[in-house]
Amino acid sequence: MCWSLRDGLRDSLVAAAPYGGPIALLREPLRRSPSSRPQLEIYSASGVGIASFPWKSGPVVHLGWTVSDELLCIQEDGSVLIYDLFGSFKRHFSMGQEVVQSQVLEAKVFHSPYGTGVAIVTGSSRFTLATNIDDLKLRRLPEVPGNTCLLFRFSGILSGFSWSLFRFSCILLGFFWSLFRFSQILSGFSWVKLQVLVESCSGSTPLQQDPCVLIGELDGVRIISSTNQELLQEVPLVCQDIFKIASMAPGALLLEAHREYEVTCLLACAWRVSKCLVLQAASFGKCFLTDFSPDQFVSTCRELRVLNAVRESSVGLPLTHAQFKQMTLQVLIDRLVYRQFYPLAIEICRYLKIPDYQGVSRVLKHWASCKVQQKDLSDEAIARAVCVKVGDSPGVSYSDIAAKAYECGRTELAIKLLDFEARSGEQVPLLLKMKRSQLALSKAVESGDTDLVYTVVNYLKNEMNRGDFFMTLRNQPVALSLYRQFCKLQEQETLKDLYNQDDNHQELANYYVTASYKEKRLESRLSLLQSAVDEYNKAKNEFAAKATMEALLALGLHKQAEQLYRDFRVPDKRYWWLKLKSLAEKEEWEELEKFSKSKKSPIGYLAFVEVCIKCNNKYEAKKYVSKVTPEQKVKAHLAVSDLEGAADAAIERRNEAEMGAVLSRCSASDRLVIDRLNRARAGAAKK
């Protein structure tokens, strides 16, 4: 064992998971002094430390492991605390209020076809069972009088509970040995024809002078002490037939019994006794067979090499071949992945030629999900590492990895990872979940999938007010066109609002003409047709007026352009946009400033900022930032590269999306701004 235990296993609660699983050790579990707390330590099966932390809860009666390597800590008050392999607390549950009052005398963790269960006996002589902790249903058995042994059949297994010590093993008093042959024994140990279970009152045996712990396995008993670990097994009959003196078995007489050697030798290879010798015999014998398929021999050799690799002390999974077969290869890969032995898991998958979607891709997906949780690396570094490692591996979805990053509060990292996702159908739902609706709409349009575009548009329609919704669609012509087609068939009134919003008099006139055909009353039809005539006239006049105004403004004839604007009743927004662009393109900044102060801008002041930036004049753009509405402040500050101002505006509005937008523009040198935003986001999340 790789550990170094000063006091051995004395005065300690020890629990080891089956199938070569981890070992948990709690020293002096009943110590109650707050100044000196017990230490809970978790080791691999080879004694390599995995986790260690002081125990701050109540006195512990028993430790046990679930089938998924989760540690159960059963306390005196009936509370069961669950930790993962790395010592992180996951959840807890109680064995009932009655247990809290009468206290737990002893407890056991057992495994059954239903899952991992817990059985306890209380101070009031009552048994309480939970057959599956993941679907908790408590069963209370009648009170047990006196010092008796209760026998009952549970899930097909005959179990014995000793009232005094609630024992599942045979008791050895003093140093006398007792050998028992079982046809069926407790699931906590195993189903073995001949099982030797040894335990003395002091916890030591003639074989083990130090205190030791016995752990039942499928095909034997693990004996764990402070210095080493051994596996006690019954020698298989197949090995006896090969190696006993004067054996005439087919395996012993390999050359003469070549038709049956594979039955004995290959099965014997799975056992630790003289594996090399048996393998050499099997390899030699198959050379004399003409119709023998080497697949079983090759498969056995590969499996033994895998077992040798996981038995290394650095990995600490001392599995036998029988345990490996019972566990299955997929579970072994899962355990290696859970322990974060990713390179070894990938090598085993490739060596055994497991399909990518079951092997390497599954390992890489788990690795990437853990990688995005590393807080000491930047979003850019993690995204780059995941892209390089995962690449185009089949079966790995970047959207799943991005979803994990989003769950960890790393929205910007999730967006970067989504850029590597080739399927837009996987990108868009997560972007909508992250409230990045405009980016989701852009991705949907880029995909060319009209159904996906309609899905995003419908989501935006329900989430945004009508004005913002129309403005968003205006920036995406394809989405706007599709939405217009939808409105023509389903929502005629919305189509009318769209044309009004865009001052599209030509289409609005067409709308009135179409609507007139649906009217039955002559007066209504004439009214709609008159509205159509008016809109056609506006469209014609506005087109001519717009062209003339553009020419006048280009020549600097502002008074004449303004007179034309009044005479032809050109919409305010259109006139302001024309004059703004004309003054900025001619770099008449003083005139532009006077124009902005002439009256309240119908197009807002963010337009002034954006036009100035487009003309490469950040100095002029900053003059209009203070006039922008609060909803557009962050965008205005970002336009002039004022990160501190943008951060102030986002924090003041407590807007998560705006804080994320500012963070995405920050570099490593903007550490103060990043810290402020992260604190603000954390505070908002708590509220």
Residue 5 covered by a domain: no
Pairing of strands 104-112, 229-232: unpaired
Among the listed residues 412, 351, 340, 347, the one whose alpha carbon sits nearest the alpha carbon of residue 383: 412
Looking at the predicted structure, is the pLDDT value of residue 571 above 60? yes
Residue 613 covered by a domain: no
Whole-structure pTM over 0.85, yes or no? no
Looking at the predicted structure, is the pLDDT value of residue 407 above 90? no
Q: What is the pLDDT of residues 192-235, one digit of tens each?
A: 333 344 443 334 444 445 678 888 888 888 888 888 888 888 88
Q: What is the mean pLDDT of the chain?
A: 77
Distance CA 639, CA 608 (A): 11
Cα–chain-centroid distance for residue 406? 9
Average pLDDT over residues 459-473: 80
Torsion-angle region of residue 8: left (phi > 0), alpha (psi -120 to 50) or beta? left
Distance CA 144, CA 268 (A): 47
Q: What is the pLDDT of residues 305-314, one digit of tens each?
A: 999 899 888 8
Residue 389 covered by a domain: no
Distance CA 194, CA 185 (A): 10
Cα within 13 Å of Cα(460), Cβ side? 28
Domain that holds residue 245: 235-268+280-292
Residue of 544 and 458 predicted with greater confidence: 458
Q: What percent of the chain has pLDDT over 90?
A: 5
Please check whether residue 411 is in contact with residue 432, taking contact to mean a CB–CB distance below 8 angstroms: no
Residue 626 covered by a domain: no
Q: Could you please report the per-residue DSSP string of 469-480?
A: HHHHHHT-HHHH
Residue 374, token pair as written in the block:
């590393």
Q: What is the pLDDT of residues 62-78, one digit of tens each?
A: 999 998 889 999 998 88
Place of tokens 């009152």: 201
Q: What is the pLDDT of residue 191?
A: 35
Residue 106 sits at φ, ψ, to 5 deg, of -155, 155
Residue of 534 and 431 predicted with greater confidence: 431
Residue 452 pLDDT level (bands cut at 50, 70, 90): confident
Residue 540, token pair as written in the block:
């014609």
Distance CA 520, CA 329 (A): 76
3-state secondary structure of 42: strand
Distance CA 287, CA 34 (A): 70
Distance CA 302, CA 201 (A): 44
Residue 573 covered by a domain: no
Q: What percent of the chain has pLDDT over 70?
A: 80
List the beta strands (DSSP E) in 396-436.
none
Please check whether residue 147 is in contact with residue 163, taking contact to mean a CB–CB distance below 8 angstroms: yes
Among the listed residues 495, 442, 501, 432, the one whose alpha carbon sits nearest the alpha carbon of residue 470: 501
Residue 687 pLDDT level (bands cut at 50, 70, 90): low
Number of structural domains the chain divides into: 1
Place of tokens 């073995």: 192
Residue 376, token pair as written in the block:
């000491």
Residue 326 covered by a domain: no
Q: What is the pLDDT of residues 88-114, one digit of tens each?
A: 899 999 988 888 888 888 899 988 888
Average pLDDT over residues 234-255: 72
Average pLDDT over residues 25-34: 71
